[in-house]
């Protein structure tokens, strides 16, 4: 842990900036702009720059180093990397233990070597650093007071660095508005070689190459935005960059080798008119660039860094209008998986652009599948056939998605290459024995963590055998996992389920020409078949619609139409349960789209009554229970749920998570191992925890419609896994839920 330094302690420092170029002058200007109470001194070998700094009012004094250092408490060395050693030599006789010294050099191993050469070791009060901020302009007059604001500063402390010196360096950068992070010097140089030094090298090289050509004036005259965007950094300080490339030679040459290979692959693709190779590289790059953008904007998609979002749901509100909720999550996952393994092109409409299904899409890109989009729910998958996937470079990260991990396990068990499946903290707690056990029976080699939890390491090149299997629990994920592995197994695989579960895998396989037979509770398929891609229309997700079905059912005066909702009979438990409670739900405009039944659902307010939920409906409404509990809390009398122990192994223990929140609101209930009793009535507000579970977060948002006080719901970032537009759609029908980021 870095020692804590209160912001005001910085005001007691006398900061000495050595080198009044862009970086040093921006530190000085920034300190002045934020009202720093201490003194800012500067030294520079160009006296004119010192005079400019004084006249700009960004420094308070200057003089020879041997006069300045005894006055200083915090020194920022801001000279080019290769000049740092001579500055350190000049400082060495004046070095004190209570001085804190840092630098801003863009490479760190070379600076550490300089320090070691001068002192024979790394003094614990020397904390190397590098602000990832800059400008193509240079010199004191280019100083920008806000240069470091919202930028990252990397500090690279040693194991024996002085903790309070480190804390004072953190305090300096934080005061200038930067985010400070720590890493080792080697890692720093490697990361920077790829993300900063290589792009600068390419920009210098491109402009230099073009500028040498005779018709250069014309070329520059016609140069469009692409040239301008790509080459802006070629205007940077040549001396500084010469030093950077000298100092970080090895890492830069490594990055350049990788780049040359990439360019030569593209060259070959262009020469050979290889559209797939070009589209593959461009779509991967375009996707990665958008991903980078979301990181820059601190959006959460796949950032692996959990954002802290709180919902504030005001009490009351209306439910009126006509809306279409986003695409079905289960079908979106499967459309990518089957489309990737099919021959030919699969065009998907209505794809859910939520984090779970985007993680699946990204995983296939990492296995070499060219996927265009998503753009407004449209995705085009260039299938590679049953054996066309390629080994990914690293672990496949599937975020929060149980469906992805379990279906992938089946599909990857039959591949020729090894893979590793990882996920976020919630997924890492979920049981995988339910898929690992049957896959091992088929001959798969899978290692899991203790208690059969993720990550899963799957060995490729195994010969899989057919399986005849009675599912121990009603789970479409396990059924689908076995069927997907069965496509790679010898012989006919049969799976029997204890109760019907969603059958999207079976329907979509049949739709792609891979025969799956069904009789009674058994699904069967023979290994070794093939699929042909085709169009897929993903209807709106009934699991997302469920929040509004309940919202309208409990809000007096509500009248709402949910358009184009998937009403596959293995998914409509929520409709049956709400109707049994007395809800006014009507299916309109019923039709079949791409092998799946679809309807508009018209729902109006109607008083609800408590019921004993039919156990047969449980697997058919498995994801809808959190919001059905809210329906029960608004119904007259008691609602009893049994046989729902599966709810305890979802993104959270959904029985307990809902019970804890309902206790806060004052909703009477009794928790059982496999269910819950809920007594409807008036309830209040308060702060509840969604435990990072999207469906808990959305269920309590709906609860606020009938609460007497506002409900604050913590940890809601994961709503983006299944329902990215939840807040705007809720607002459009009159609900009053707002997000706040901590
Ligand atoms: O197959 C699927 O797409 C899903 C199956 C269900 O899980 P189980 O199979 O674990 O019941 C469901 O909860 C999940 O959201 C999606
Ligand atoms: C349980 C769910 O999803 P998964 O199992 O895919 O994480 C869900 O969306 O409610």
Residues with CB under 6 A from ligand 1: 330, 403, 475-477, 480, 502, 622-623, 646
Q: How confident is the model at residue 302 (pLDDT cuts 50, 70, 90)?
A: very low
Q: Which fold has domain 309-322+540-741?
A: UDP-n-acetylglucosamine1-carboxyvinyl-transferase; Chain (3.65.10)
pLDDT score at 301: 39
Mean pLDDT of 443-466: 97
219 has a pLDDT exceeding 80: no
* Spatial separation of the C-alpha atoms in residues 492 and 483, rounded to whole Å: 10
Domain ranges, ordered by start, for the chain? 7-183, 191-273, 309-322+540-741, 332-537
The CATH topology of domain 332-537 is: UDP-n-acetylglucosamine1-carboxyvinyl-transferase; Chain (3.65.10)
- What's the pLDDT score for residue 291? 66
Backbone angles phi, psi at 552, to 5 degrees: -70, -35
pLDDT reported for residue 411? 98
Q: Determine which residue's CA is closest to atom 5 belonging to ligand 2.
A: 402
Of the ligands numbered here, which is closest to the C-alpha atom of 478?
A: 1
Q: Which of 1.10.3660.10, 2.40.30.10, 1.10.3720.10, 3.30.420.40 would CATH assign to domain 191-273?
A: 1.10.3660.10
Which residues fall in the annotated binding site? 329-330, 334, 402, 430, 475, 477, 623, 650, 654, 695
Give yes or no on whether 309-322+540-741 and 332-537 have one common fold. yes
Helices (H), 644-693: 654-665
Which pLDDT score, from 0 to 100, does residue 292 have? Answer: 64
ipTM (interface predicted TM): 0.98
How many other C-beta atoms are found inside a 10 Å radius of the C-beta of residue 281?
A: 15
Q: What is the pLDDT of residues 57-97, one digit of tens each?
A: 999 999 999 999 999 999 999 998 889 999 999 999 999 99
Q: How far is the CA of 452 from the centre of ligand 2 (A)?
A: 18
φ, ψ of residue 134 to 5 degrees: the values are 180, -170
Mean pLDDT of 496-523: 97
| 3-state class (DSSP) for residue 589 | strand
Residues 5-28 have pLDDT tens digits of 666 789 999 999 999 999 999 999
- Residue whose CA is at the smallest distance from ligand 1 atom 14: 403
pLDDT-derived band at 217 (thresholds 50, 70, 90) equals low
With a pLDDT cut of 70, the percent of the chain lying above it is 95
Top pLDDT among 290 and 152 is at 152
Cα four-point dihedral sign 516, 538, 530, 501: negative
pLDDT class of 296 with cuts at 50, 70, 90: low
The first and second tokens of residue 455, run together, are: 């990550």
What is the sign, positive or negative, of the torsion defined by CA atoms of 224, 228, 229, 230? positive
Q: Measured from the CA of 329, which atom of ligand 2 is nearest? A: 9
pLDDT at res. 298: 40
Best residue for ligand 2 mutational test, from 400, 403, 428, 653 (most atoms within 8 Å of Cβ): 403
pLDDT classification of 491: cutoffs 50, 70, 90: very high
Q: Are 348 and 390 in contact (CB under 8 A)?
A: no
Nearest to 435 by CA among 485, 391, 396: 485
Q: What is the pLDDT of residues 622-642, one digit of tens each?
A: 999 999 999 999 999 999 999
- DSSP secondary structure string for all residues of 418-464: -EEEE--HHHHTS--HHHHHHHHHTT-EEEEETTTEEEEEEESSPPE
**Catalytic residue positions, numbered:** 623
Q: How far is the CA of 401 from the centre of ligand 1 (A)?
A: 10
pLDDT band for position 442 (cuts 50, 70, 90): very high
Report the percentage of the chain scoring pLDDT > 90: 84
**β-strand 126-127 against 100-103: which pairing, if any?**
parallel
- Average model confidence (pLDDT) for the chain? 93
**575 Cβ neighbours under 8 A, 6+ residues apart:** 542, 549, 567, 585, 587, 601
Mean pLDDT of 392-421: 95
Q: Which superfamily is assigned to 7-183 in CATH?
A: NAD(P)-binding Rossmann-like Domain (3.40.50.720)
In the predicted structure, residue 592 carries a pLDDT above the cut 50: yes
The pocket around ligand 2, CB under 6 angstroms, is made up of 329, 400-403, 623, 650-651, 695, 722
């Amino acid at each position: 842990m870095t020692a804590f330094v209160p912001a005001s302690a910085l005001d007691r420092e006398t900061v000495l900036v050595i080198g009044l170029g862009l970086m040093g002058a921006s530190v000085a200007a920034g300190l002045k702009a934020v009202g720093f109470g201490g003194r800012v001194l500067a030294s520079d070998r160009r006296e004119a720059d010192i005079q400019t700094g004084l006249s700009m009012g960004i420094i308070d004094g200057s003089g020879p180093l041997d006069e300045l250092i005894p006055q200083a408490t915090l020194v920022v060395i801001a000279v080019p990397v290769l000049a740092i050693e001579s500055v350190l030599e000049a400082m060495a006789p004046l070095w004190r233990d209570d001085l804190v010294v840092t630098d801003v050099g863009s490479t760190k191993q070379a600076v550490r070597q300089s320090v070691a050469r001068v002192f024979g070791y790394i003094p614990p009060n020397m904390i190397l650093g590098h602000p990832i901020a800059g400008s193509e302009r240079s010199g004191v007059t280019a100083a920008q007071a806000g240069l470091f604001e919202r930028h990252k500063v990397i500090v690279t402390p040693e194991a024996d660095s002085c903790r309070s010196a480190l804390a004072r360096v953190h305090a300096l950068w934080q005061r200038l508005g930067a985010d400070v992070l720590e890493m080792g010097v080697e890692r720093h140089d490697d990361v920077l070689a790829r993300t900063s030094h290589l792009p600068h090298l390419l920009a210098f090289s491109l402009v230099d190459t073009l500028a040498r050509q005779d018709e250069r004036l014309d070329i520059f005259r016609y140069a469009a935005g692409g040239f301008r965007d790509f080459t802006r950094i070629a205007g940077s300080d040549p001396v500084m960059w010469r030093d950077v490339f000298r100092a970080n030679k090895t890492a830069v040459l490594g990055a350049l080798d990788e780049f040359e290979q990439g360019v030569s692959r593209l060259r070959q693709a262009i020469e050979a008119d290889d559209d797939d190779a070009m589209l593959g590289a461009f779509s991967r790059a375009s996707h990665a660039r958008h991903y980078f953008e979301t990181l820059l904007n601190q959006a959460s998609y796949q950032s692996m860094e959990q954002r802290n979002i709180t919902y504030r749901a005001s009490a009351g509100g209306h439910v009126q209008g006509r809306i279409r909720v986003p695409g079905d999550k289960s079908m979106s996952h499967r459309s990518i998986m089957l489309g990737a393994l099919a021959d030919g092109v699969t065009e998907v409409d209505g794809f859910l652009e939520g984090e779970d299904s985007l993680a699946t899409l990204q995983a296939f890109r990492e296995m070499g599948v060219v996927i265009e989009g998503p753009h407004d729910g449209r995705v085009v998958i260039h299938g590679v056939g049953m054996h066309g996937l390629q080994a990914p470079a690293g672990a496949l990260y599937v975020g929060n998605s149980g469906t992805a991990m379990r279906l992938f396990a089946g599909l990857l068990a039959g591949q020729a290459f090894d893979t590793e499946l990882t996920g976020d903290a919630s997924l890492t707690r979920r049981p995988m024995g339910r898929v690992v056990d049957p896959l091992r029976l088929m001959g798969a080699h899978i290692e899991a963590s203790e208690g059969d939890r993720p990550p899963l390491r799957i060995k490729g090149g195994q010969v899989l055998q057919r399986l005849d299997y009675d599912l121990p629990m009603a789970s479409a994920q396990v059924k689908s996992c076995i069927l997907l592995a069965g496509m790679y197994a010898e012989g006919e695989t049969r799976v029997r389920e204890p109760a019907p579960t969603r059958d999207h895998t079976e329907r979509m396989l049949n739709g792609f020409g891979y025969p799956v037979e069904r009789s009674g509770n058994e699904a069967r398929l023979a290994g070794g078949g093939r699929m042909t891609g085709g169009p897929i229309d993903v209807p709106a997700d009934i699991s997302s619609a469920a929040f509004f079905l309940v919202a309208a059912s409990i809000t007096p005066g509500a009248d709402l139409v949910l358009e184009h909702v998937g009403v596959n009979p293995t998914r409509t438990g929520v409709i049956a349960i709400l109707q049994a409670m007395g809800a006014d739900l009507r299916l309109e405009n019923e039709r079949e789209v791409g092998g799946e039944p679809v309807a508009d659902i018209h729902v109006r307010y109607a008083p609800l009554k408590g019921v004993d939920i039919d156990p047969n409906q449980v697997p058919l409404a498995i994801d809808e229970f959190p919001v059905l509990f809210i329906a029960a809390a608004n119904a007259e009398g008691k609602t009893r749920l049994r046989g729902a122990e599966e709810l305890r192994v979802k993104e959270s223990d959904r029985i307990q998570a809902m019970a804890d929140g309902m206790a806060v609101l004052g909703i009477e209930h009794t928790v059982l191992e496999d269910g819950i009793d809920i007594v409807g009535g008036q309830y209040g507000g308060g702060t509840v925890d969604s435990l990072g579970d999207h469906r808990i977060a959305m269920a309590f948002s709906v609860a606020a419609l009938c609460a007497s006080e506002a409900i604050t719901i913590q940890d809601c970032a994961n709503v983006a896994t299944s329902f990215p537009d939840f807040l705007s759609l809720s607002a459009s029908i009159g609900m009053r839920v707002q997000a706040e980021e901590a």
